[in-house]
Amino acid sequence: MSMAPLFLPRDADGSPLRPAVFIDKDGTLVRNVPYNVDPALLQFMPAAPEALAALAAEGFALVVVTNQSGLAQRRFTRAQWEELAAALRERLHAQAGVELTDLLHCPHAPGEDGLPMCPCRKPAAGLLMQAARRHGLDLERSWMVGDTLDDIEAGRRCGCRTVLFDSGGETVWRRAPLRAPHRVLTDWVDVAELIVADHRGLDIRAGIP
């Protein structure tokens, strides 16, 4: 059973570090429309806004971390990306009262082998580490939720527990210990229930180390 620590880790200013839920964007938070920057095509996955509201009410910071290689490939401009990011934030607030703690993106393209050429493109953990430093987050009490094993690896690399949101985004299935999710789920209601229960120390999620 997961139990809250008796002594919470603290930031440099003495404030306790917060747990976070890191959320992949395409195929996890919103339906995957490749290289989309049109707010009209932005559609949340079922129950995602309400699930994030439940997680925020539990005290979790909410951080979207997303690879956006379309910027490097010049499929869209930075201004177009920023317009979409603003629309995502606004709609989360309008639909469920959710305020994201941050929305971080990697603008770089992968190498020819598909692997990152920078420290921020998932499966590297740079975006999560950046958010942790910026917002005083406790990575060991945090979760990464994403639809590919690259998301899982990014989370595990910085000590988070992980949920593979199996919406069909993973097609390669390149297996390795760092790419093994703690749980595989297909519904945001179940994701929120799992994370909240674990945070409260409730023993209803067999199989979580």
Catalytic residues: 24, 26
Token pair of 69 as six digits: 């290689």
Distance CA 175, CA 179 (A): 6
Q: Quick count: other Cβ atoms within 10 Å of Cβ 34?
A: 7
| Continuous H helices in the chain | 48-57, 78-96, 126-135, 149-157, 188-200
Inter-residue contact 127 to 119 (CB < 8 Å):
no
DSSP of 81-133, one letter per residue?
Answer: HHHHHHHHHHHHHHHH----SEEEEE-PPP-TTSS-SSSSSTTS-HHHHHHHH
